[in-house]
Amino acid sequence: AQSVTQLDSQVPVFEEAPVELRCNYSSSVSVYLFWYVQYPNQGLQLLLKYLSGSTLVKGINGFEAEFNKSQTSFHLRKPSVHISDTAEYFCAVRGNYGGSQGNLIFGKGTKLSVKP
């Protein structure tokens, strides 16, 4: 079974400051990792995903994440945030069962609040 822990439920930050949203996972199989963003009253939008290869993944809106297998982490970062980044961010894993489908397992979410 897989599980995802997002260590911070809320992260307040000032505009133009850097931010890191933390995500740790546990799994008995290899996984694919995802970060989604949810703006108020909207669905989920994919920011980035890690499948294999380079452990540093770049996504949309200037976000990037680093996969660390030894620490089972997949932290999301942005060097300079904007007011428009205010949203809830979800880390998710999907088991890699030799290529077969697994459903997404989500963390509880981190609410990023960017203040002027």
Partner 1 sequence: KAGVTQTPRYLIKTRGQQVTLSCSPISGHRSVSWYQQTPGQGLQFLFEYFSETQRNKGNFPGRFSGRQFSNSRSEMNVSTLELGDSALYLCASSLAGRFSGNTIYFGEGSWLTVV
Residue-wise DSSP of 68-100: ETTTTEEEEEESS--GGG-EEEEEEEEE-BTTB
Using DSSP bridges, classify how beta strands 10-14 and 110-115 pair: parallel, antiparallel or unpaired.
parallel
Q: Could you tell me if 2 and 31 are in contact, meaning their C-beta atoms sit under 8 angstroms apart?
A: yes
- Per-residue x/- mask for partner 1, residues 39 to 78, rule CB under 8 A? --xxxxxx--x-x---------------------------
Among 13, 32, 62, 113, binds partner 1 (CB under 8 A): 32
For position 35 contacting partner 1 by CB under 8 A, the verdict is no
- The two tokens of residue 106 are 């989500």
Q: Near partner 1 by CB under 8 A, which window of 35-43, 54-62, 66-74, 75-83?
A: 35-43
Q: Is 102 in the site for partner 1 (CB under 8 A)?
A: yes
